[in-house]
Structure 1
Amino acid sequence: MADSELLQVVTGNSKFANKFYNILAEEEKGKNVFFSPISAHIVLSMAYQGAAGTTADAFSSSLHLGNENIAATGYHHVMSSLNSIKDVKLHIANKIYVMQGFPLKEKFLKSASELFLSETESLNFAESENSARKINGWVEGKTNSKIKDLIDAGCLDALTRLVLVNAIYFKGNWAQQFKKEHTMKEKFYISEVESVDCHMMHLTRRFRYRADDHLQAQILEMKYTNENISMVIILPFKRTGIEELEKKLVDVDFATLSEGMRSMEVEVSLPKFKVETTMDLQSILTRMGLGVIFDQMKANFSEISNSDEQLYVSKAIQKAFIEVNEEGAEAAAATGMVMMARCMPIIEPFTADHPFIISLQYSDGGSNVVLFVG
């Protein structure tokens, strides 16, 4: 295994996740946020394969990857590894939809198919309803019907040349499951005194745990039946501590949150929850330094096609879903990018009864891949 490229991709994804989360939390203050950093990172890494000049430089710096070859080789190993894990369902898939008759460069196609394991399909985007139906049908199939209607027909027309799509789906059971009879209706505090009712699950078992004085938070790791997959939950000490926690997480690598933990008896109270989100990524990606890819005049994707048409990204969307219950969790996300031709996320009490942050991670050989954050 190409350890160097793999490590760079894992590290790059983690840094990307951190910055993405901080911008998202600021833009969506007070709302539930949930996203898949790896889904966005993969689809952008695919687009990186076709970039040149200052556009390629922007990808390198924003994705925290040295060059496009590191991205492709590293993700080949990440995807092969994630798609072969046992005892949980975890699938990642890529697909490129291209306008009928639009010529793709052989090098770009080879990188997409052999390294990103991407399928390619030709569509007539002028038939926008039919094209959107086909793309959305593929995404729905890959995410067990959790992500629907990723691409709106209004995003497609006769000038659309490429649609790059990544879909990720996860479903896993807790290694130590909550008993349904212990789930009770309790209060979840959205401010110091204001609360809403929730279904609170309860379990006392040995878990990896630590209290972090710098973050002013408790950190709990809950494993799935495949113990390489875990959910890390960061719970502020104070009911109203979520905004302060988000500020402190600016300089913290999500992939290292589980370091320094020790196994101890923890009395866990965790609400059942379900979150669904839809995001237009242009604002966030622009703030992360990728504004050039949306610029009709400046974007340089000359390594994608031999055509004289100047390509740019007209739309970047992600839909994400997570449901956590007594058995475990189910999560899915899909990210789509549309390219146009320029018109010529002792017993220690851990009571999650106020806002907290989760990170769903895959760990293998010392490297943690951040799959979802919310």
Structure 2
Amino acid sequence: MFDFNLEFARGGATFTTELFQLLSAGGVSKNIVFSPFSIQTCIALAFAGAQGETADEIATGLRFVSNFPPEVAQTFQFVLEKYRNSNLLKIANKLYVQEGKQLKASYEQSIKEQYNSEAESINFALSDAAAQSINAWVNAKTEGKITELVTPDAFSDNTRLVLLNALHFKGSWANKFLEERTEEDDFWVGAEETVKVPYMNQKAKFGYGFFEDLGCTAIDMPYKDSDLSMFVLLPQEREGLKDLAEKLKSVNLVDLADKLVVEEVHVKFPKFKVDYSIELADKLKQLGISKMFDEGAEFNNLLESPEGVYVSKVLHKATIEVNEEGTEAAAATGMIMMTRMMTFPLQFQADRPFLYVIWNKKNILFAGAFVNAPDA
């Protein structure tokens, strides 16, 4: 039997590695953090009202399970329902529509039922006030972690819709790190170059793996009272990150989860905080999603009066903080639509650039690369 939810998770993992590849093209010189799930969810809100080639490109580029909106909505609903009452993870969707414009009733009903998304009227011509309202919503849904997703210059008389997804995660480690064991040490930012970073230290049982074909070791550090964890892939070479990202194209992260073995491990892991923001239009076009950005975009199922709406921007911001207690991460994605005009015990020393994801061993909520001590 075809398992849509597993297929959706595998698609999400593929999208994660493909987008990471694009974000790190030319080498990773700065820390990256993004939420594949937030980006997918935000664009799925538009996909629910898309048709034809536009819908096909979105489904293919974002690795959805099919190009049939109700089937795709079901896979998102599965994850949204799973964490509806979670204390660790909050997911929120919202749609703002230009005053005087009416969403199609069937579309409004489907995003409400399938994506738990409310719709609200707003006057985009009053761009300062519109930006303020939207940022206030994002700020509230990310617990103050993301304060400014949009700026007033993103809106004009021609703006018709803004689709938003916000994600907030705050989890305590199942095995906390003791603060008194945190100490500064070298982190290799190049073959011969180091910077000082604070490292947390502990010895405990974790899911652990050595993947020879990928040239890396992996550890899965669970969060308390949850099926969520942080999965870290550490290249063996000091400058092995680019190679690892390349090799990940040939495997699916979901399959790696099954290969971990619970072992007692000495973990030495940096304490860090990273903020990241990007406008995703160019990257999405590189993944083959271009039709939704041009004036011939087929979003005829969104509004009652069929104006030619298209996407002008896809804004994404994410932040993560990792410390002895656990992890706090937040992400927001906004889509603006316009009308035309080995030793034993094992060691896991993350003292060189590494990749990480926060997931439930299937759906990837956050992904990133830690490559350098963030500027204080």
Same fold (TM over 0.5): yes
Map 1:221-232 onto structure 2 (within 5 A). Answer: 221-232=220-231
Map 1:1-374 onto structure 2 (within 5 A). Answer: 4-26=3-25, 29-65=28-64, 66=66, 67-85=68-86, 88-296=87-295, 298-343=296-341, 346-363=344-361, 368-374=362-368
CA distance in 1, matches of 2:57, 2:75: 19
Opposite residue 12 of structure 1, the aligned amino acid is: G
Please list the CA deviations of residues 64-102 of structure 1 after superposition, one character each: whole Å capped at 9, or x if unmatched.
2312111112211210102223xx520000000000011
Opposite residue 370 of structure 1, the aligned amino acid is: I
CA distance in 2, matches of 1:330, 1:347: 29
Please list the CA deviations of residues 12-40 of structure 1 after superposition, one character each: whole Å capped at 9, or x if unmatched.
32222221112112166322111000000
**Aligned residue in 1 for 2:374:** none
For the 8 Å contact 2:101–2:304, the answer to whether it is kept is: no
Please list the CA deviations of residues 261-286 of structure 1 after superposition, one character each: whole Å capped at 9, or x if unmatched.
11111111001011100010001100
Give the drift of 1:252.
2.1
CA distance in 2, matches of 1:10, 1:252: 14
Give the drift of 1:187.
0.9
SS in 2 for 1:30: coil
Opposite residue 356 of structure 1, the aligned amino acid is: F
Residues paired across the two proteins, number = 364
Which runs of 5 or more structure 1 residues have no equivalent in the other structure?
A: none
Give the drift of 1:4.
4.1
CA distance in 2, matches of 1:327, 1:230: 14
Opposite residue 42 of structure 1, the aligned amino acid is: T
CA distance in 2, matches of 1:214, 1:4: 28
**TM-score normalised by L of structure 1:** 0.94
CA distance in 1, matches of 2:331, 2:288: 23
Give the drift of 1:9.
2.8
Give the drift of 1:320.
0.1
SS in 2 for 1:102: coil
Deviating more after overlay: 178-187 vs 20-29: 20-29
CA distance in 2, matches of 1:295, 1:27: 28
Deviating more after overlay: 105-114 vs 330-339: 105-114
Give the drift of 1:319.
0.3
Indicate how the Cα distance of structure 1 residues 250 and 92 shifts in structure 2: closer, same or farther if over 3 A, else same: same
Give the drift of 1:308.
3.4
CA distance in 1, matches of 2:302, 2:27: 34
CA distance in 2, matches of 1:22, 1:331: 21
**TM-score normalised by L of structure 2:** 0.94
Over the aligned positions, Cα root-mean-square deviation in angstroms equals 1.5
For the 8 Å contact 2:17–2:245, the answer to whether it is kept is: no
SS in 2 for 1:138: helix
For the 8 Å contact 2:34–2:331, the answer to whether it is kept is: yes
Give the drift of 1:248.
0.7
Identity in percent: 37
